[in-house]
A and B are shown apart, each in its own frame.
Chain A
Amino acid sequence: MAKRKLTNEQKALQAWDYMQIQNVMGRHMYYHGAGKHHEELDELWAQKHEVTWSGNFGIQIGMESVRYNYGFSHDKSNQIALERVIKVHPEVENKPENWGIGTLIAHTLTTPVIEIAEDGETAKGVWYSPGIVTETGPAGKPQPQYMWEKYGVDFIKEDGEWKIWHIHMYYDLNFGPGEDWTKPAPPPPPPDPSLPAAPPRKYDAPATYKYKGYSETTVPVIKPDLPEPYKTFADVEPY
């Protein structure tokens, strides 16, 4: 592990920055859990630097792309999900206030490893996230899932405030209550052909790394790469 020498001033600022970064990620979780993705993108994400969202399916590059997928596509999915719910529960009203009805999402943040650059301008953090996701399935019923995943996140300072810059997701487990996660997941219920399908996500580049989640043949690896102390962002690889 790299060693470094920090001045007392730098140590004081890093302690402060650690706290602010934990708060930014905490806010991300609470916004995401409430489906307030547009607000989250406006308040917590970098506006002056190119943001990215990465995973096994590819990379979304730039705010327009991230907002299309995380914001507008998510809104559309909520609209469609509401129509599916109404088919099963006709007493539910079709209005935007009911988007997200019956959902419960909590991607908790545990086990942080956070390194702030010596120049104080960027930071890198990883978290383990044992979470729950309850979203409306193709048949209009809520589908409860446990989702255990890891976050690798780069942060950048804009106007003195920490902002999310690059997020990379690494998915370990996705299983329903009562299911054995070591066994392959059962097939999902068939979709109702009379209802529209959710819009597919769009990616601007292929994945730089395909993380293999749990299976009987998966060998555990340390991914995302754990942050190490660093001087400035040019010295490290982005998430």
Chain B
Amino acid sequence: MAKLSMEERMAIYEKKVQKALDYAEIQNVFALHEYYHHAPTKEFDMIFAQKQPDVSFGQNNGMWVGRENVRKNYVGQTKEQLKKKLATLRKWHPDIPNDIKYAASGEAGIHMLTTPLIEIADDGQTAKGMWYTPGFMTMFNEKTGKWNSVWMYEKYAIDFIKEDGKWKIWHFNALCDFATPYEKSWVESSEERRLNPGGEFMGLNDKRDVPGLGTTDYSTRRVQPMDLPKPPEPYRTFSETFSYGPQK
């Protein structure tokens, strides 16, 4: 094989270096999602795509599509809703200050990023990533007046797109494998739900704009799927690969 010229070699290295840089930036952008998870307004404006009409937020039960819908449902709550939330909290715990910034008192969650699998398109305009995320959530239970602690293990399947030279989250999916109270195994929790269907589960019963990627959470009746979600494969340009967004 003929030896490559210095220019040809530099062109190859330039592409590889750019992809390596993109990999690091994408890891950072997605880590920001985790650290800002409890300030979703900031997160949405900072790291979600602003120019894509089909920007989406998906979970097992479906996706919200479009900036307004994602903002309304993921970014959250209006001032009125927060005031109502605070009022309920203070009925149980009147020592909590009557200030809207305490409406999320005691809420916590960490979703760690592990097992990255990231492919950046050859054209450098989009990327696809999967991560495994072990984590926990702590949420206030209005019926008991206590905070529930829950272990949550999920997979992320994300499309990224470059806007104005910066990587942004385009199609977001957090796909729950299990969520279980800390004192129960995930097998016990899932059996309880399988045998008593219809109950509320982590806000994953609500109606969404479009169906999700077809994933379900752990069940003693489920065969763990390889391709739900499908891991990213190397690709040249987005039209030549599959989407983690609204399915056609």
Give the B-binding residues of A (Cβ under 8 A): 9, 12-13, 15-16, 18-19, 22-23, 25-27, 29-31, 33-36, 89, 92, 97-106, 108-110, 130, 132, 134, 141-144, 176-178
Residues A26 and B116 in contact in the complex (CB < 8 Å), given A12-B16, A13-B16, A108-B134: yes
A89-B178 Cα distance, complex, nearest whole Å: 22
Indicate whether B220 reaches chain A with its CB closer than 8 angstroms.
yes
CB distance from B134 to the nearest CB of A (A): 6
CB pair A12–B224 under 8 Å, yes or no, is no
When distances are taken between beta carbons in the complex, the residues of chain A under 8 Å from B220 are 89, 101-102, 142
Partner of B19, one of A16, A89, A100: A16
CB pair B134–A35 under 8 Å, yes or no, is no
Residues A109 and B114 in contact in the complex (CB < 8 Å), given A19-B19, A104-B186, A177-B184: yes
Query: When each residue 11-22 of chain B gets 1 if its CB lies under 8 Å from chain A and 0 otherwise, what string results?
Result: 001001101110
CB distance from A135 to the nearest CB of B (A): 11
CB pair B117–A104 under 8 Å, yes or no, is no
Query: Total number of A-B contacts with CB less than 8 angstroms?
Result: 113
CB pair B223–A100 under 8 Å, yes or no, is yes
CB pair B23–A19 under 8 Å, yes or no, is yes
CB pair B185–A144 under 8 Å, yes or no, is yes
A22-B104 Cα distance, complex, nearest whole Å: 37
Question: Considering only CB atoms, which chain B residue lies closest to A11 in the complex?
Answer: B17
When distances are taken between beta carbons in the complex, the residues of chain B under 8 Å from A92 are 221
Within 8 A of A (CB), among B1-49: 9, 13, 16-17, 19-21, 23
Indicate whether B219 reaches chain A with its CB closer than 8 angstroms.
yes
The 7 A-B residue pairs with the shortest CB-CB distance, nearest first, are: A26-B117, A34-B226, A15-B20, A108-B114, A177-B185, A16-B16, A102-B220
CB pair A110–B13 under 8 Å, yes or no, is no
CB pair B177–A104 under 8 Å, yes or no, is yes
CB pair A104–B20 under 8 Å, yes or no, is no
Indicate whether B183 reaches chain A with its CB closer than 8 angstroms.
yes
A106-B118 Cα distance, complex, nearest whole Å: 18
When distances are taken between beta carbons in the complex, the residues of chain A under 8 Å from B114 are 108-110, 130
Residues A105 and B130 in contact in the complex (CB < 8 Å), given A19-B20, A30-B231, A178-B183: no
When distances are taken between beta carbons in the complex, the residues of chain B under 8 Å from A27 are 117, 231
Indicate whether B112 reaches chain A with its CB closer than 8 angstroms.
yes
Indicate whether B225 reaches chain A with its CB closer than 8 angstroms.
yes
